Amino acid sequence: MPATVPVPEDLKYTEDHEWARVESDGLRIGITDFAQSALGDVIFVQLPDVGAELEAGDQLGEVESTKSVSEIYAPVTGRVVAVNEELVNSPERVNEDPYGSGWLCVMAPASLEAVEALLAPDEYEQLTAG
């Protein structure tokens, strides 16, 4: 299934369909348009705890849709410094604006090199093209 919106060029990606954007306050993380489209209507989002220390690949949270429950994984090692509380009452934002108001959390990465090692936009497009 092709992505319904272009893959943003200013993000890094994981093979598990998370995106990461480097910002002044840390690494903002969400799920891709491809992932939200595959999930269907999101009805619940479990967010990580602020202050949680996570290793790359650890479960960060869950997104529950009318079709299934999907685990969300930390793209890098670091500490959760903020979560998108608006998703508690408005989980549909993940569907409506996955790269904007549907973000999940912000992490303080232990290493910026780990961020650079994530997939580039063209690599993620190749991953989802099949």
pTM of the model as a whole:
0.92
Q: Are 31 and 69 in contact (CB under 8 A)?
A: no
Give the model's pLDDT for residue 10.
Answer: 95
Q: Predicted confidence band at 4 (pLDDT cuts at 50, 70, 90)?
A: low
Computed over every residue of the chain, the mean pLDDT equals 94
Give the model's pLDDT for residue 25.
Answer: 87
In the three-class reduction of DSSP (H, G, I as helix; E, B as strand; rest coil), residue 38 is classed as helix
Each residue's pLDDT tens digit, 20-39: 999 998 999 999 999 999 99
At residue 59, does pLDDT exceed 60? Answer: yes
The full DSSP string for 93-127 is: HHHH-TTTTT--EEEEES-HHHHHTSBPHHHHHHH
Q: Predicted confidence band at 130 (pLDDT cuts at 50, 70, 90)?
A: low
Write the CA distances from 6 to 32, 52, 68, 81, 129, integer angstroms: 10, 32, 25, 28, 12
Other CB atoms closer than 10 Å to residue 6's CB: what's the count?
10
Walk me through the domains of the chain, giving residue ranges and CATH numbers. 12-109 (2.40.50.100)
Cα–Cα distance between 58 and 71 in angstroms, integer?
10
According to DSSP, the residues that pair with 78 across neighbouring strands are 54, 109
Each residue's pLDDT tens digit, 71-89: 999 999 999 999 999 999 9
| Amino acid, res. 20 | A
